[in-house]
Amino acid sequence: MITLAWLYALAGATFAAFALLSVRDRTNKRRLGNFAFWALIAASFFLGDRLGDLGNGLLVLCLVGLAGFGALGRGDPPTTSAAERARSAERRGNALFLPALIIPATALIGTLFLKTSGLIDPKQVTLISLGIGVLIALAVCYVWLRPPLLAPLHEGRRLMDSVGWASALPQMLAALGAVFALAGVGEVVGGIAGQAIPEGSLFAAVAAYAIGMALFTMIMGNAFAAFPVMTAAIGLPILVGHYHGDAAVVCAIGMLSGFCGTLMTPMAANFNIVPAALLELKDRNGVIKAQIGTAIPLLCANLFLIYFLAF
C-alpha cells in the first residue's frame, strides 16, 4: 500500500537533488549556503519522524540561521534560454498547459475512485494522488517535449533559488498553527476579544471574527492555521454559543475571510511569492499589490454575509 511516507520520500529526494546541484553550481557564490538549506529540508522529509521534537527544533533553527544571515544566493543553472522558451510557446500555444492540468485531474480521480482500492492509504488518498499526478505529468513532458534529463531539476532549483527561504514558510506555518492551538492561544485571544467587543453588539463580534481571521492569516500565512485559533476564540464561544449562530455558515465564511488575508501577505509564499518568481516580476510584492483591491471588498462582503446569513 502506498502511504504518505512515499510522498515524503519523493519530496526529500527532490530537495536532495537541489542540494547536490547547488553545491556544484559555481555561478552561485553562496552555493554552500544553498546546499545546506536544501539538504536540511530534504532531511526533514526523510528523517522528520525519527529526529524527535528536539532534533526537528534544531533543524528549524539551522534553517532560520541560514536564512537570517543571508547565506542563500541565486545561481544560473543550465536551462533553456528565453528565446528557446518563446519559440516553444509559440509553436505549442496553450497546449503547454495540458501537463499541468494532469496534476489536479489525477488528484480528483484518485480521491473519487482509489479510496477503497487497497492500493493507497485511504486517509491520505488526495495528497498521494497529487504526487502521482506530478509524476505522470513529468513523464508526459519527457515524452512530448523531450527535454534534457536533468532539465526539470535544474528548472525546479532555479525556481526555488528565486523564492529562497520563503519556500519553507508553508511547512513551518502549518506546524505553527498546530502549536498555537495546543498552547491555548485561542483562549487568550478569546479573553482579549471578550473584553474589547461591546456587550450585546452582534455586528462587532462578527467583525472581530471576520477581520481577525484575515489578520491572523496575514501573520501566519495560512488560513488553515489561523482557523482553529480564531474559531476557538470568537467563532464558537461567542457567535455560535452566545448568539446562537449557524455554525456551518460562521465557519465556512469565516474560513473565506481568512483567505482574504492570504491575498495580502508575503507570508503566504506559495500563493504570492512563488508566482512573482515564476513571472519574474521586478517587484517581489507585485502579486500582493494586485490582489489587495479584491481582498478588502471581499472581506467586507464576507462580514455582512456572516451577519445576515448566520443569525
Q: What is the pLDDT of residues 97-147, one digit of tens each?
A: 899 999 999 999 999 998 888 889 888 899 999 999 999 999 999 999 888
Residue 122, phi then psi, degrees to nearest 5: -60, -25
Residue 77 has pLDDT above 90, yes or no: no
When pLDDT is cut at 50, 70 and 90, the band that residue 7 belongs to is very high
Residue 159 has pLDDT above 80, yes or no: yes
Helix, strand, or coil here: 2? strand
Residue 234 has pLDDT above 80, yes or no: yes
Domain assignments of the chain as residue spans, ordered by start: 4-169, 184-309
Residue 285 has pLDDT above 80, yes or no: yes
CA angle, 220 then 226 then 229, to 5° = 125
Quick one: what percent of the chain has pLDDT higher than 90? 44
> Are 128 and 10 a contacting pair, CB within 8 Å?
no
- Highest-confidence range of 33-47, 142-156, 264-278, by mean pLDDT? 33-47
Among 128, 211, 224, CA closest to 176? 224
Q: What is the mean pLDDT of the chain?
A: 88
Q: Which three cell numbers stand for residue 81?
A: 534560454
Calculate the alpha carbon distances from 240 to 170, 202, 206, 237, 305 in Å: 30, 11, 11, 6, 15
The rounded distance, in Å, linking the Cα atoms of 302 and 254 is 8
Give the residue with greater pLDDT, 141 vs 269: 141
The rounded distance, in Å, linking the Cα atoms of 9 and 95 is 31
Among 257, 266, 254, CA closest to 295? 257
Q: Which range among 172-176, 194-198, 212-216 shows the weakest confidence by mean pLDDT?
A: 172-176
CA neighbours closer than 13 Å in the CB half-sphere of residue 191: 4
Q: Which amino acid belongs to residue 243?
A: Y
Q: Which three cell numbers stand for residue 266?
A: 508575503
